[in-house]
C-alpha cells in the first residue's frame, strides 16, 4: 500500500449519512497520528480511510517504511468482519506472486483493533489514475495492465483463491511502472466439497456492483469460481478503455437490474476505435454464460497478447524481469506513463462507491501451471 488519490464522492444517489460516517472515521484516524503500533511502528501519515479500515504510512524503529491498515473500531465487534480482515493477509501471501501487495505482519493495537503491516508503494490506484487524467488510458497501457492482472489471477486460481473484488480501486500503479493487486479481504478459498455447509449461503452478494458478474450477484458461493474474477477483470479493462461500465445506469439498483436481465454493451459500441481483436477478447470475458466466458486466466492472457500482436502492438516489458507463467516472458511494465490519448467525456460517475447496503451488497468504501477445472470447486469462508 502507499500514498494514493482519494476518490471524490459521487453526486449520484449520494447518502449524507455515509458522508458523515466517513468524516467521523477520518477524525478518529487522524487522532492516531504520532502514536506507535506494537511499540515499534510509528504512524507518520494518514494515507486513506475506507469503509473497513484506515491506512497509514508508518516507520519501524529500524527505519523501514511500511503501510499499516487498522480496522475501524465499530467493525472490530463483528466476528465475520474481523475474520475477513485478518484473512486478507494470509490469502494475499498465499498467492506468492510478486505483483500482489505483500502483508508483512499482523496483530492488535493497544486498544484492541486488528492491523496489517504491508509493503509501502508509491503511486496511485488505477481508479485514481483515470480520475486524475479524466480520460481513458492508452491501449498499450491497458493491455499491459491486463496481462499483469491475468498473471496474478492465474497464480491465485492455481492456489484455489478467488479474489471476488477485482476493480480499478484494487489495482495499484507504482511510480516505476509496476502493477500491484491488493485487497483480498473478501477473497475465498475453494475446495472440492460442494456440500460444505459454509458454501450454501445465498442472497448476500459480496463485491462491488459495477465490477460484479451475474453469478456473483446471485449470492450463491457455489456458483463462484475463477471465471468470476475473469468477469471483473474484463469490466476493469472495459472501464480503463472507455471510462464507462458495461451497463448504462443512473443508480446501483438500475445497474443490478440490467446485470441480471441483459447482455453488456459491446466494447466497440462505446469506442469504435478499439481494434476488433482486442474488443473480442474483453467482450468474451463479460459473457454471462460461464461456458462461453474465458475458462481460465492463462487462456485469456495468451489470447490478449496474440490479439495485441495482430494489431501491431508490442506489450512493453522490463528486460530481465522474469514472469510467473512463462519463465522466458518478462514481467510487464507500463510504457507510457503520461497519457496522450485524445480526451473522451466520462459518461457516468463511478457507481462502485455508492452505498449499497439496502440492496444486500457488502461493498466497503473506496480508499480481484495447471488451471483448476471450472465449476468443480466450491468457495468456503
Query: Cα–Cα distance between 138 and 274 in angstroms, integer?
Result: 10
> Do residues 206 and 309 make contact, with C-beta atoms less than 8 angstroms apart?
no
> Do residues 117 and 103 make contact, with C-beta atoms less than 8 angstroms apart?
yes
> Do residues 285 and 301 make contact, with C-beta atoms less than 8 angstroms apart?
no
C-alpha cell belonging to residue 101: 501487495
> Do residues 219 and 205 make contact, with C-beta atoms less than 8 angstroms apart?
yes
Query: Cα–Cα distance between 195 and 346 in angstroms, integer?
Result: 45
Query: Cα–Cα distance between 252 and 146 in angstroms, integer?
Result: 26
> Do residues 286 and 234 make contact, with C-beta atoms less than 8 angstroms apart?
yes
Query: Cα–Cα distance between 112 and 96 in angstroms, integer?
Result: 29
Where would I find the H helices in 44-124? 79-95
Helix (H) / strand (E) element for 121: namely: strand 121-125
> What does the buried/exposed string (b/e) look like for 46-59 if buried means 16 or more CB atoms within 10 Å of the residue's CB?
bbbbbbbbbbbbbb
- Say whether 165 is catalytic: yes
User: Which residue is catalytic, options 127, 165, 229, 283?
Assistant: 165
Tell me the catalytic residues. Answer: 165
Amino acid at each position: 500500500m502507499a500514498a494514493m488519490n482519494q476518490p471524490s464522492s459521487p453526486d449520484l444517489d449520494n447518502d449524507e449519512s455515509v458522508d458523515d460516517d466517513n468524516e467521523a472515521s477520518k477524525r478518529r484516524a487522524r487522532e492516531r497520528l504520532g502514536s506507535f503500533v506494537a511499540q515499534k511502528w510509528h504512524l507518520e501519515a494518514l494515507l486513506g480511510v475506507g469503509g473497513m479500515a484506515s491506512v497509514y504510512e508508518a516507520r519501524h524503529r529500524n527505519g523501514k517504511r511500511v503501510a499499516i491498515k487498522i480496522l475501524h473500531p465499530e467493525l472490530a465487534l463483528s466476528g465475520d468482519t474481523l475474520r475477513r480482515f485478518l484473512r486478507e493477509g494470509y490469502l494475499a501471501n498465499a498467492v506468492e506472486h510478486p505483483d500482489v501487495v505483500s502483508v508483512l505482519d499482523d496483530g492488535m493495537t493497544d486498544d484492541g483493533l486488528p492491523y496489517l503491516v504491508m509493503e509501502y508503494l508509491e503511486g496511485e490506484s488505477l481508479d485514481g489514475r483515470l480520475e486524475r487524467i479524466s480520460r481513458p488510458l492508452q491501449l498499450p497501457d491497458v493491455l499491459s495492465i491486463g496481462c499483469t492482472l491475468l498473471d496474478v489471477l492465474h497464480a491465485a486460481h492455481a492456489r484455489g483463491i478467488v479474489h471476488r473484488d477485482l476493480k480499478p480501486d484494487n489495482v495499484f500503479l507504482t511510480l516505476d511502472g509496476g502493477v500491484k493487486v491488493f485487497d483480498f479481504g473478501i477473497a475465498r478459498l475453494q475446495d472440492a466439497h460442494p456440500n460444505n455447509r459454509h458454501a450454501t449461503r445465498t442472497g448476500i452478494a459480496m463485491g462491488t456492483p459495477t465490477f460484479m458478474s451475474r453469478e456473483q450477484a446471485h449470492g450463491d458461493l457455489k456458483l463462484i469460481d475463477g471465471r468470476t474474477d475473469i468477469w471483473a477483470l474484463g469490466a476493469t479493462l472495459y472501464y480503463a478503455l472507455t471510462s464507462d461500465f458495461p451497463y448504462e445506469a443512473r443508480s446501483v439498483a438500475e445497474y443490478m437490474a440490467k446485470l441480471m436481465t441483459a447482455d453488456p454493451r459491446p466494447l466497440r459500441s462505446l469506442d469504435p476505435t478499439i481494434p476488433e481483436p482486442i474488443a473480442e477478447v474483453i467482450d468474451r470475458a463479460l459473457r454471462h454464460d460461464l461456458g462461453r466466458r474465458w475458462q481460465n486466466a492463462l487462456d485469456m492472457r495468451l489470447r490478449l497478447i496474440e490479439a495485441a500482436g495482430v494489431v501491431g502492438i508490442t506489450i512493453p516489458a522490463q528486460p530481465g524481469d522474469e514472469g510467473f507463467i512463462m519463465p522466458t516472458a518478462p514481467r510487464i511494465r507500463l510504457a507510457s506513463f503520461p497519457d496522450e490519448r485524445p480526451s473522451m467525456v466520462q459518461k457516468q460517475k463511478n457507481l462502485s462507491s455508492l452505498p449499497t447496503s439496502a440492496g444486500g451488497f457488502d461493498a466497503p468504501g473506496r480508499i480481484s501451471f495447471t488451471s483448476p477445472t471450472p465449476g468443480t470447486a466450491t468457495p468456503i469462508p
